[in-house]
Structure 1
Amino acid sequence: MNTVQRAEADLCLKSALIVDDHPLFCEALSMTLSNVVGIQSISCTNRLEPALAVLAGKQKPSVVVLDLNLPDVNGLEGLVRVKSVSGDVPIVVVSSMTEPRIVRSALRLGANGFVPKHSPRHVFREAFAKIAAGGVWLPEDMALEDDDAPDRGMELAAKLALLTRQQGRILQLICQGLMNKQIAFLLSIAETTVKAHVTEIMRKLQVVSRTQALLLAKEGNISSLLLND
């Protein structure tokens, strides 16, 4: 890491919020962020809800460091909810779940970087320097796009085209991290109606969870579809 990169990291990333439920790892990561990356103020929480409360407040951290498995949320849903309240605060996923599919999904959902938990200190230094400079960090030897995957553009467009206008609006709000109750309020409909629409959305998209539906919507660019409708 050169002097310019270190200055950028020190300038842009003054504080960090670590969201991880393993105390020893939190302590080790805090030391790495402080001594190696140069972040001055570091706080930790072992659950998602307190982290969301911090991010919804006025004093946001410079960066969020998020594990994917927490006591009150599991998998990519936590990232979706953090992204919905974090604004411009970059999110770095630090996880032992390093399958390429999960890494790419995390980036599609708005993570600015993905660092495997077992990474040496110099990787954290390089990752945070790149993120501080506005870049995206991937694990070594991993491409952002899967070159071996078939072109799914037409298939995704066909699935999304099955949605009604109201279902498209609801899916777009799910992409923004809203829960059923919030969607019902915004659209002036009953929460049970939202639940029924979500069930139908998942059936049409051939998925079994909201997170999978969200990923398909991101990949298929649901916003552009609605604008062109």
Structure 2
Amino acid sequence: MIKVMLVDDHTVLRDGIRSILDIEEDLLLVGEADSGESLMKVLDTTIPDVIVLDINLPNKNGIELISPIKEKHPGCKILILTMFDHDEYFKSALREGADGYLLKDASSMEVIDAIRKIHQGNSIIHPKMASKLISYHRLQNDYSNQENELTNREKEVLNQLVRGKSNKEIAAHLSISDKTVKIHVNKIYKKLNVNSRSQAIIYAVQNKLVPYLN
């Protein structure tokens, strides 16, 4: 059972997601909050697996809450669900440690699928934001020396990470085992000096370690 917490100051949105979660047998809503202050209070007594977090909140915005959430509950995954498609919001959220970034035009099932995938350790990026990253990537001129440290296979795995693929999907695509993919991912983290898929993704795109996406 995946324990989910909703953080949004719009009651209508929370009501909508709550009604969807109630239908899914593997998802359990364990808490709600309408501000950063109320969220941190709830987290004193509740430990969710995944927090669906808005950016536009009273007092502190969602991006400012990512680090405190991770400090309080390091194993908790964070899915940003927002109306903001600004580059800086997106990149800041990933830098802070968000595990996924969806826009509110995503369908209800896309949100549910994202919750499941980030709980499994994958990163989810809204297609529009992925395109923005690639556009940013095309404008940069500096290449990272880290590219030379990655093997060809690690580059292939990293490319699939940027595309939002799970370990199982990467294994099938490259015709290797899930265990081998995990080994490659851990080596990539070490070489790029990152701690999560989201950090690896934004590092890879900003430093031109992956080819353009089609």
Please confirm whether the aligned pair reaches a TM-score higher than 0.5, indicating the same fold: yes
TM range (shorter): 0.5 to 0.7
Name the amino acid aligned to 1:64: I
Larger Rg: 1
Residues 1:27 and 2:2 are matched in the alignment? no
Contact 1:19 1:66 (C-alpha < 8 Å) held by counterparts: yes
- Name the CA shift for 1:80/1:53 in 2 (closer, same or farther; >3 Å): same
Q: Tell me, in whole angstroms, the C-alpha distance in 1 between the residues paired with 2:9 and 2:140.
A: 37
Q: Tell me, in whole angstroms, the C-alpha distance in 2 between the residues paired with 1:60 and 1:106.
A: 21
Contact 1:19 1:64 (C-alpha < 8 Å) held by counterparts: yes
Residue aligned with 2:125, SS = coil
Contact 1:19 1:67 (C-alpha < 8 Å) held by counterparts: yes
Q: Tell me, in whole angstroms, the C-alpha distance in 2 between the residues paired with 1:137 and 1:37.
A: 22
Instruction: Find 2:59's aligned residue among 42, 67, 72.
Output: 72
Tell me the CA shift for residue 101 of structure 1: 3.2
The residue aligned with 2:138 is 148
Tell me the CA shift for residue 95 of structure 1: 0.7
Gaps of 5+ in 2: 145-201, 204-214
- Name the CA shift for 1:75/1:63 in 2 (closer, same or farther; >3 Å): closer
Matches within 5 A, 1:11-50: 11=1, 13=2, 15-36=3-24, 38-50=26-38
Residue aligned with 1:21, SS = coil
Name the amino acid aligned to 1:148: R
RMSD: 2.8
Instruction: Find 1:139's aligned residue among 126, 132, 138.
Output: 126
Contact 1:65 1:93 (C-alpha < 8 Å) held by counterparts: yes
Q: Percent identity?
A: 25
Question: Structure 1, residues 110-165: CA drift from partner, whole Å, max 9, x if none?
Answer: 011112122112211321221122100000254366412425689xxxxxxxxxxx
Tell me the CA shift for residue 89 of structure 1: 0.6
Q: Tell me, in whole angstroms, the C-alpha distance in 1 between the residues paired with 2:60 and 2:25.
A: 28
Name the amino acid aligned to 2:100: G
Q: Tell me, in whole angstroms, the C-alpha distance in 2 between the residues paired with 1:18 and 1:39.
A: 12
Gaps of 5+ in 1: 1-10, 155-217, 220-229
In the superposition, the TM-score normalised over structure 2's length comes to: 0.58
Question: Structure 1, residues 36-91: CA drift from partner, whole Å, max 9, x if none?
Answer: 5841233211111221123244x411211111111121352233332332311101
The residue aligned with 1:107 is 94
Residues 1:63 and 2:50 are matched in the alignment? yes
Q: Tell me, in whole angstroms, the C-alpha distance in 2 between the residues paired with 1:76 and 1:152.
A: 27
- Name the CA shift for 1:17/1:125 in 2 (closer, same or farther; >3 Å): closer
Q: How many residues align?
A: 144
